[in-house]
Amino acid sequence: MNIELDKSIKNLIKIEKRYSKYFFKSDYDFREALIAKVFNSLVKKNEVFKKPVNKLIMHFPNSSKISREFLLSHEKSPDHFWEPQTHKLLNILCKNKKDIIFGGAFFGDHACFIAKNFSKSTIHCFEPVSKSRKYLKKNKIENGLKNLKISSNALYKKEKQKLYLVDKINDDAGISLSFNKEDNSKFFLTDTLDNYAHRNKIKKIDLLMIDVEGSELNVLLGAKNLLKENNIDNIIFEMHSNYLDWKNGLKNTSIVKLLSKNNFYIYAIRDYYSNKKLRNKIELLELENTYLEGPDHGFNLIATRNKDLVRNKEILLSKKNYSPKYLFHKSSKKFHYI
């Protein structure tokens, strides 16, 4: 990154820090309405950055909201890249564990930190998209993450299937795969968790994180044996209204029904989808008390076999009707800390 661009971004952050306080609970999203638009006019699509983050050196292109939000962070020394509460929960769940799997690892915005923090654990990353995998490999090498393994396969319910890139939107973090081939579309081969675990002699998956743009259920359908034998302890997964219908409540969605049938306790994770240090506890919501109204959106959930997880001193379980997304510009208390 050139010096002038770096200076321009820093000046933009200064402007936001100065004026954003006036839009707290105003129902006006100052970041999206103004700052993000100016940022997009300043920074070229796919401009590559190299930044220090919490004892890591991360390489990434400006190709997603994840990248943009990190570059616009107000933090002088950020301790995470994206999703602060999910980041904290991952660190709780991965402590002293052996096998951790990331389906849809992107460039390592979560996986690299877990690999760094838990060097005795094996971090298995699945990333079929070549551009994302390129930076994931680069971040692995740059940071000496020998415990991080990378697969080019896409996790799915069947192995050796061909999936195609079908959703070429502006955000690389939102890329999805399908059986439907588009013009000039490359295919990606699939693997199942059951087969991968068997080949690699993984007896138990301590934590599985899946963020695969609507194919989360298909990933779990490829883990029938692991689920049946209670060999997955914790699952963090995304649900998005673009890909599933939750009008009848989260408990009536196919993925929640599957996990409930396999004896998981499931909660929505309240998070801030940007880069910001949150010093409050990790707030979890009961599914029936998760506020879902609004435009199409997604959020993370935790499915765990450990019923005592909610008693962790760093976690707060709420029975109030709140949104799983912190939106501090909103006037409604549903989007603020409990």
Query: Residue 188: its pLDDT value, please?
Result: 84
Q: Are 117 and 140 in contact (CB under 8 A)?
A: no
Residue type, 288: E
pLDDT tens, residue order, the chain (338 aa): 678 999 999 999 999 999 999 999 999 999 999 999 999 999 999 999 999 999 999 999 999 999 999 999 999 889 999 999 999 999 999 999 999 999 999 999 999 999 999 999 999 999 999 999 999 999 999 999 999 999 999 999 999 998 887 655 666 667 676 776 665 567 889 999 999 999 999 999 999 999 998 889 999 999 999 999 999 999 999 999 988 999 999 999 999 999 999 999 999 999 999 999 998 999 999 999 999 999 999 999 999 999 999 999 999 999 899 999 999 999 999 999 99
pLDDT at residue 1, as a whole number: 60
3-state secondary structure of 220: helix
Residues in the chain: 338
Strands 265-269 and 282-286: antiparallel
Single-letter amino acid, residue 263: N
Give the global pTM.
0.95
* 222 alpha carbon, distance to own chain's centre: 20
Sheet of 177-178, strand order: 154-155, 187-191, 162-165, 177-178
H or E stretch covering 227: helix 224-228
pLDDT of amino acid 73: 96
- Domain 81-335 sits in CATH at 3.40.50.150
pLDDT, residue 77, reads: 87
Dihedral (Cα; 289, 248, 237, 219), 10-degree rounding: 160
Q: Is residue 300 helix, strand or coil?
A: strand
Structure tokens at 144: 């000496």
Strands (E), the chain: 48-53, 56-61, 99-103, 122-126, 148-151, 154-155, 162-165, 177-178, 187-191, 205-210, 232-240, 265-269, 282-286, 298-304, 315-318
Structure confidence at residue 169 (pLDDT): 62
The helix or strand, by DSSP H or E, that contains position 38, with its residue range, turns out to be helix 36-42
Question: Letter for the amino acid at 232?
Answer: I
Q: Which residue has the tokens 């029938």?
A: 224
At 107, the amino acid letter reads F
Q: What are phi and psi of 226, to 5 degrees?
A: -60, -40
Task: List the domain boundaries for the chain.
Answer: 81-335
DSSP string, 246-288: -TT-GGGSHHHHHHHHTT-EEEEEPB-SSS----S-EEEEEGG
d(CA 49, CA 82): 16
Taking the C-alpha atoms of residue 246 and residue 260, their distance in angstroms, rounded to an integer, is 16
| Ordered DSSP codes for 152-206 | -SEE-SSSS-EEEE----S-GGG--EESS--TTPPEEEEE-HHHHHHHTT---EE
Give the 3-state secondary structure of residue 322: strand
